[in-house]
Amino acid sequence: MPDDTAVDTRPSKIMYVAEATAHGGRDGYVTSQDGQIELKVAMPPALGGDGNGTNPEQLFAAGFSSCFHNALVMVGRRSGFDLSGSTVAAKVGIGPNRHHGYGLAVALSVSLPVLDADVAAKLVEDAHAVCPYSNATRGNIDVTILLG
């Protein structure tokens, strides 16, 4: 039986669709339909590869950090704060899970140097509630947010 208290984070309307194609998996390349992305993909040395290219974890980290930062700037603006100089860095870890597959874990490091700690914490909480990456990963992977 579904949990009626769960928040439905699915989009009610699709406003944009990104398209990308992988060629060769983790040892190949990825392209986007619009030509903006043409990247060599390679296994990182920690997973037995040569590291001569980007990898899905780096791409996920780039997407999550930029999306979360945008959500943070948006909620800051709505609350009357200019978040110029703020940053969000993401670390995405990969490792085996208990089901003979692999899983991810994310750590976001948020820097809001000009704000009081309580205000910064509230803005981070609000951003985590609206960020599409946060909503997509909530309950699926561990996401840790460090405010510094």
Residues 9 and 72 in one domain: no
Instruction: Tell me the residue range of the domain where 17 lies.
Output: 1-54
pLDDT at 34: 97
Residue range 115-133, pLDDT digits in tens:
999 999 999 999 999 999 9
Give yes or no for residue 3 having a pLDDT over 80. Answer: no
Q: Band the pLDDT of 5: cuts 50, 70, 90.
A: low
The token duo for 34 is: 């619009």
Residue range 84-97, pLDDT digits in tens:
999 999 999 999 99
pLDDT at 2: 46
Q: Considering its fold, how many domains does the chain have in total?
A: 2
Residues 44 and 88 in one domain: no
Residues 68 and 83 in one domain: yes
Residues 95 and 119 in one domain: yes
Residue range 97-107, pLDDT digits in tens:
999 999 999 99
d(CA 126, CA 27): 38
pLDDT at 55: 97
Residues 49 and 5 in one domain: yes
Residues 22 and 72 in one domain: no
Residue range 29-62, pLDDT digits in tens:
999 999 999 999 999 999 999 999 999 999 999 9
